Each structure stands twice: as C-alpha cells, then as structure tokens.
C-alpha cells in the first residue's frame, strides 16, 4: 500500500506551531491516505471543540482577536474543504471528507463539475463565510484552477477575521514552492495567460500567505 509521510511544517512562527502541537497534533510518522485523513479529521474535531470552549486561549492571531459576539456566531459548517478535484478528489479528499463525517464534523465539499472559466458562485463564497475552519489541500494542480485560487482569496480574507482559521495540507508539493510560486506550483500558475497581472498578483499573495501557515506536509515515500 502506498504510504505518505505526515509531518508538521516547521517554517512558521514558533508560537503558532507550539499552540497547535499543544492541542494534539502528533509527531511525524508514515500513514496511508485514509489514515492521514482520519488523523487530520480528529485534529479538526479537537480544534473545533477547543475554539468553542475558549477562543482567547489560542495562539493563532486571527482567533485571538475575536469578539464575544463572533465567538457566539452559529456557523453552518465546521470545515470548508478547498481542493483541486483533478488530482485529489478521488484519493485524499474523499478519504478526508468521509473521516470528517465519521467524526461528526459538518463539512462543505463542492462536488459540482465546473466549466472552464466559470466564475465562482455567490453561494459558494457564502459557504466559506459560514464555515469556522478551512482545510486547503494544496496540490500540483491547485494553482492551475482559477476557481481554487479565488476560493483561496476568500478563505485568506476570512482567516484574518475573528474565529475563522485556515490549515494548509501540502499534498505532494513543497511548501516553499507554494510560498514562492516555483516548481510545479509556478508552472500551474503560469497557465493563466488570459488573466491580468493584478489578478495573478492577488493569487500569488494568497498562496504565500497560505504557505506561511502551520499545516501538514504530505509526501510520497516508499513502503517500509
């Protein structure tokens, strides 16, 4: 069975990483996609419970500044999944969605087949606003999708506000490639030849911000 290496990226601010580790994110080990998904779902459940109990205790700045009114807000979804269906839907994302569901976590996963060039829907943007946590599955084809990139813009906007918190999963991509838009990520982004420089620059900024968050680095490794 193919296994993957699960590890926390260590290039983020120490206080944020310490806060995440304090609340149950374990040490690196080898896991299958389904096992990794189950583990991540369990951590999402803990994160949801933790933020419900005491928002002021978190070391994540976007949550530390939340008001009591925002803390009492009722969210439609616990988790919003942002991903490229091309290379993750039938593998990691399906496992993750099933695991989140098994843990009783209300999760939004867009299953619509999107037409090329179609603009992101208002109701999808609303679903992002009405989700407490975001799991961004950054894969090799993620930056090739303007839909995914516009989702990411909205997610990072919400992440900076109140109790919304985003966690990246670097799925077979190097976090530094996401941060610098190099390698496979740069190649994917370069496909948007019909977009303005302003649009692409906003996407680049969002990718860099996402890559600087504490998250999961998932890489292929050989069995044993």
Give me the active site residues, please.
151
CA-based diameter of the chain, in Å?
Answer: 50
Written as one string, the DSSP assignment of 110-176 is --PPPPTTPPPPHHHHHHHHTEEEEEEEE-TTGGG-HHHHHHHHHHHHHHTSTT-EEEEEEESS-HH
Q: Return the SS3 of 210.
A: helix
Question: Could you tell me the end-to-end alpha-carbon distance of the chain, in angstroms, rounded to an integer?
Answer: 10
Residues in Cβ contact with 138 at an 8 Å cutoff, skipping those fewer than 6 apart: 168, 169, 170, 171, 173, 178, 185, 207, 210, 211
Residues in Cβ contact with 173 at an 8 Å cutoff, skipping those fewer than 6 apart: 138, 139, 140, 142, 183, 184, 185
């Amino acid at each position: 069975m193919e296994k993957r290496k699960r590890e926390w990226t260590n290039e983020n601010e120490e206080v944020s990483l310490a806060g995440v580790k304090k609340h149950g994110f374990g040490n690196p080990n080898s896991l299958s996609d389904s096992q990794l998904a189950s583990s991540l779902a369990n951590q999402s459940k803990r994160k949801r419970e933790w933020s419900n109990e005491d928002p002021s205790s978190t070391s994540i700045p976007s949550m530390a500044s939340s008001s009591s009114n925002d803390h009492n807000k009722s969210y439609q979804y616990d988790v919003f999944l942002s991903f490229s269906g091309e290379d993750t839907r039938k593998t990691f994302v399906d496992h993750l969605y099933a695991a989140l569901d098994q843990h009783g976590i209300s999760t939004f996963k867009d299953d619509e087949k999107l037409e090329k060039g179609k603009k992101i829907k208002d109701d999808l943007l609303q679903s992002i606003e009405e989700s407490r946590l975001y799991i961004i599955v950054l894969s090799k084809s993620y930056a090739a999708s303007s839909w995914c990139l516009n989702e990411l813009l909205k997610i990072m906007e919400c992440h900076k506000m109140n109790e919304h918190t985003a966690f990246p999963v670097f799925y077979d991509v190097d976090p530094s490639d996401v941060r610098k838009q190099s390698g496979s990520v740069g190649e994917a982004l370069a496909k948007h030849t019909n977009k303005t420089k302003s649009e692409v620059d906003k996407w680049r900024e969002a990718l860099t911000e996402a890559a600087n968050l504490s998250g999961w680095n998932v890489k292929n490794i050989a069995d044993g």
